[in-house]
Amino acid sequence: MNLSDSQTGGAGPRRVSATEAVLSHLRGAIERGAYAIGDKLPSEAELCRTLEVSRPVLREALRALQTMGLTVSRTGRGTFVVADAVEEPTFGDYAAGDLMEVRRHIEIPVAGYAARRRTPENLDRLNRLLDRMERETDTAAWAAMDTLFHLAVAEAAQNPVFRRVIEEIRDALARQSAFLNELGGRREQSDREHRAIVQALTDGSEHDATEAMTHHLDRVGTTLTDIVRRGRTNPTGAGT
């Protein structure tokens, strides 16, 4: 089986990464019972050889399986299956649903406050950050800057409590961002949505800022739901 490191062409409109193809293969095997709850997955070396992928690609897929709650990694022992269906991804200490609920209640009104209170320095920082994000080629570095973007919006609201709340969930935001980029192709779309938010802040429009942040979080939520619902469907369109 060849799920090489190059992009894998699909029958649908979106091409998927090798990591996504490996994840789909392993997830499908777990969901149809090829690996039962309690089973240990083959070693990394064996999976790399069988799937014909590099170790970094495989490890990303294995991390995604854990995020989805299907497996757990035990140091020195390997990766074990703990569930046969995805219930809800978990990012660090927080379940995806809990994280999204808080983000909607905090970040949407924060965007409105930021539109009213932002300073030229806030706008300059946000624009420079977006320029860096659009040039960045490393996924992990981009995800880290994604969290900085949301922190910068909170700072523009001129209320330190808002920044403190976003700081608390910063690690979860980075994990979520990396997960969505790898499995949902979200990066370019996120860049556009971030630009819309900053444009609304620049215009000083509270309405446009809250609408732009609402749209951004809606798209994040939709992508998460799509990933969870894929189930046994292979993203390459070939089945599992």
Parent domain of 167? 90-227
**Any domain includes 135:** yes
29 and 82 co-located in one domain: yes
How does pLDDT run along the chain (240 residues), one tens digit per residue? 766 544 444 444 456 678 888 998 999 999 999 999 999 999 999 999 999 999 999 998 999 999 999 999 998 889 999 999 888 899 999 999 999 999 999 999 999 999 999 999 999 999 999 999 999 988 889 999 999 999 999 999 999 999 999 999 999 999 999 899 888 888 899 999 999 999 999 999 999 999 999 999 999 999 999 888 875 444 443 333
Are residues 164 and 221 both part of a single domain? yes
Please report the DSSP string for 53-67 in residue order. --HHHHHHHHHHHHH
Query: Does residue 8 fall inside a structural domain?
Result: no
What is the model's pLDDT at position 169? 95
How many distinct structural domains can be found in the chain?
A: 2
CATH assignment of the domain containing 55: 1.10.10.10
Output the pLDDT for position 209: 98
Same domain membership, residue 151 and residue 102: yes
- Are 99 and 80 in a shared domain? no
What contacts 49, CB < 8 A, 6 or more positions away?
Answer: none
Q: What is the CATH number of the domain that holds 100?
A: 1.20.120.530
Residues 223, 133, single domain; the answer is yes
Question: Does residue 199 sit within a domain?
Answer: yes
**Is residue 11 one of the residues assigned to a domain?**
no
Domain finish residue from 70, 87, 104: 87
pTM over 0.85: no
Q: Judge whether 205 lies within some domain.
A: yes
Which one of 69, 87, 105 terminates a domain?
87
Same domain? 213 vs 101: yes
130, two tokens: 């977006």
Same domain assignment for residues 71 and 47: yes
Residues 29 and 105 in one domain: no
Q: Are residues 61 and 77 in the same domain?
A: yes
Same domain, 207 and 117: yes
Give the H or E element holding residue 82: none
Name the domain boundary from 42, 61, 87. Answer: 87
Same domain for 128 and 43: no
pLDDT of residue 232: 43
pLDDT at 19: 85
pLDDT at 122: 98
Residue 158 host element (H or E): none
Write 205-214 long-range contacts (CB < 8 A, 24+).
Answer: 205/115, 206/112, 206/113, 206/115, 206/116, 207/112, 208/115, 209/111, 209/112, 209/114, 209/115, 210/108, 210/109, 210/111, 210/112, 210/115, 212/111, 213/107, 213/108, 213/110, 213/111, 213/153, 214/104, 214/108
Place of tokens 């409590």: 161
What angle (nearest 5°) sits at the alpha carbon of residue 4, between those of residues 77 and 90?
A: 50
Report d(CA 164, CA 155) in Å as an integer. 9
